[in-house]
């Protein structure tokens, strides 16, 4: 087996164990391919991965051209002037982090006559350098988003403060799940909770994530990375 196959098996086993532990099913995985070369992405597709995540528009575009048939997720900070390159190309934008971006997405989706699916990024810890809606603003943001007919809010996303010990992230995951459980989108479905990365995805699943974003654990960046 290739090293990617071995790593993928390992991640899948750990996901299943964490899900079983907390009796959750239907946990999906976005394989984060930033800096990963297309040859490796081809191998990942052959191994059955279907959903891929990128955090930069200019890096994602050529990859989407090579692999248009898989699902692409935008997971990085999105500038409003890049919205036209994202709407219509990505299945889901995980990082709706401010109202101006919501309006820009609405406008572009209208122009393209499509719907755009998003997750609201929540800044739970109030970290200044990170984007995101604060928990106290969330209800108003959701309500306001119902006025954007082309923008479909499908859930929440969070990146807790980095800690070497995943147990320290657990309270953030738990609080996110509490927020997720109580927020309602009038007429819509809040069904996705995107949280958990390579170093903490098990804790995230145990606390209620149903979509995780895993990069470095799958892709050996030192070996595979392509120069930008």
Ligand X SMILES: *Cc1c(COP(=O)(O)O)cnc(C)c1O
Residues that bind ligand X (CB under 6 A): 32, 34, 55, 75-76, 159, 197-199, 213-217
- d(CA 12, CA 50) in angstroms, rounded, equals 14
Name the nearest CA neighbour of 94 among 121, 70, 115, 71. Answer: 121
- Terminal C-alpha separation, the chain: 29
Give the residue with the Cβ less far from ligand X, 34 or 170. Answer: 34
Q: Compute the least distance from the CB of residue 176 to ligand X, in Å.
A: 14
How does DSSP classify residue 70?
S
- Distance of closest approach, residue 213 Cβ to ligand X, in angstroms: 4
As measured in angstroms, the least distance from the Cβ of 142 to ligand X is 21
Nearer to ligand X, 70 or 217 (CB): 217
> 26's torsion region: left (phi>0), alpha (psi -120 to 50) or beta?
left
Nearer CB in complex with ligand X: 60/214 = 214
**Chain Cα centroid distance, residue 77:** 11
> Closest approach of Cβ 113 to ligand X, in Å?
29
Tokens of 160: 């807790």
Q: Using CB atoms, what's the residue nearest to ligand X?
A: 215
How far, in Å, CA of 190 to CA of 156, rounded? 8
Shortest distance (Å) from residue 198 CB to ligand X: 3
CA distance 92 to 94: 6
Q: Is 225 exposed, middle or buried (0-12, 13-18, 19+ CB in 10 A)?
A: middle
The distance of closest approach from Cβ of residue 9 to ligand X in the complex, given in angstroms and rounded to an integer, is 17
């Amino acid at each position: 087996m290739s090293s990617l196959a071995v790593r993928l098996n390992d991640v899948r086993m750990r996901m299943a164990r964490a899900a079983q532990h907390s009796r959750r099913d239907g946990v999906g995985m976005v394989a984060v391919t930033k800096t990963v070369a297309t040859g490796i992405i081809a191998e990942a597709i052959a191994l059955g991965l279907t959903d891929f995540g990128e955090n930069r528009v200019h890096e994602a575009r050529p990859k989407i051209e090579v692999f248009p048939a898989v699902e692409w997720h935008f997971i990085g900070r999105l500038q409003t002037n890049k919205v036209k390159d994202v709407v219509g190309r990505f299945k889901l934008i995980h990082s709706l982090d401010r109202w101006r971006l919501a309006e820009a997405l609405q406008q572009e989706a209208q122009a393209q006559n499509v719907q755009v699916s998003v997750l609201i990024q929540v800044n739970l810890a109030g970290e200044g350098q990170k984007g995101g809606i604060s928990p106290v603003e969330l209800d108003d943001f959701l309500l306001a988003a119902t006025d954007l007919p082309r923008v479909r809010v499908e859930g929440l996303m969070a990146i807790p403060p980095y800690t070497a010990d995943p147990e320290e992230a657990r309270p953030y995951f738990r609080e996110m799940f509490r927020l997720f459980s109580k927020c309602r989108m009038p007429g819509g479905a809040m069904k996705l909770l995107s949280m958990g990365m390579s170093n903490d995805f098990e804790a995230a699943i145990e606390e209620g994530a149903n979509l995780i974003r895993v990069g470095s654990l799958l892709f050996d960046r030192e070996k595979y990375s392509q120069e930008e």
